[in-house]
Amino acid sequence: MQNLTIAVIGSGPAGFTAGIYLGRALLKPTLFSGSSMGGQLMFTRDVENFPGFPDGMRGPEFMLNLQKQATKFDAEIRYEEITAVDFSQRPFRLWTSLPENIDFQDFKRFSNQELLKATELIKKNKKADYSAQSVLISTGSENIRPGVPGEKTYLGKGLGFCAVCDGAFYRNKKVFVVGGGDTALGDALALRKFTDQVFLVHRREQFRASKILQKRVFDDNNIKILWNTEVKEILGDQQRVTALKLLQKGLEKEVAADGIFMAIGHLPNSALFTNQIEMDERSYILTRQFGSQQALKKLSKEQEGSSSNHFPTMTSVSGVFAAGDVSDSRYRQAIVAAGSGAMAAIDIEKWLEIVDKS
């Protein structure tokens, strides 16, 4: 088992920013990025609202720059997936192994219940791979899957969650995007590079996306908007998507389709930490920085009389911190995630100083 001072789980804007700050504090953090680093911004075509980049920047390029900056200050990045944790006592224990007959792709597709069973097996049958004096959770969020009929059958066969990644496969094809936020409208605009048959499906009468994205969509005559519409089923020939069953204003209809991208929101990547730390009713990790009043009262009771009260990014477990979208159910912005990563790094540095003196 390898002993670490600080383990950062996740490598989006929060994790990398924390890595920069912790590295500059000479604390030699170790970032576990998993097999794919960078978080949601790796699937974002243009980052236009991050200060300092007046011309914007491609999401993947932005993340690679953050990675370079973190490694410049001796943050070590490991492309390993954390598969189980034990926060019951310090030093905290981390696993990167899996039970036999389970590969990482299956592991990442597990439901919460399947994941919990797998982590218990790992902790029971495997020795921990790492220990850490402090842990920062910055695992971000993941796409919500609607659970409509046909979803499992056609995932990767015409159904996707990243138009920026897969748009080139739909050159001159008829493609649908489902959602009404920034991601959905951004996906529709990204697809226009490849096809003039883009349909934006939204269950309400107005978008919640930023005004500038709405204007770009409204100004593009080749993006057709289907208001008050829901996808009821994804249809195909077992090999690929061929049609969608839609419900529009109470009437069902079937429309031909070559592809569909779901962009209906995100959920926190927190399942790995279930029963280890306190979360709210939507599974966002509780810290003093973010959370409802009811959640904050619960956290205050947990931390009463402890030094945790002085550290806004600390979770209900002393020494375990959280930053970014995994703990932020309100803002969910790259700049907020980066800022909370910086805050967590400063909290960790100060907390370790206190612990080392005691």
- Residues belonging to the active site: 162, 165-166
Dist. CA 140–CA 290, nearest whole Å: 14
Q: Can you tell me whether residue 341 is helix, strand or coil?
A: helix
Give one DSSP letter per residue of 16-83, joined into a string. Answer: HHHHHHHHHTT---EEE--SS-SGGGGG-SEE-SSTT-TT-EEHHHHHHHHHHHHHHTT-EEE-----
Dist. CA 7–CA 28, nearest whole Å: 10
- φ, ψ at 203 (rounded to 5°): -80, -10
Asked, as a colleague might, if the bond just before 13 is cis with ω within 30 of 0, I would say no
159 is written with which tokens?
């159904």
Dist. CA 99–CA 110, nearest whole Å: 13
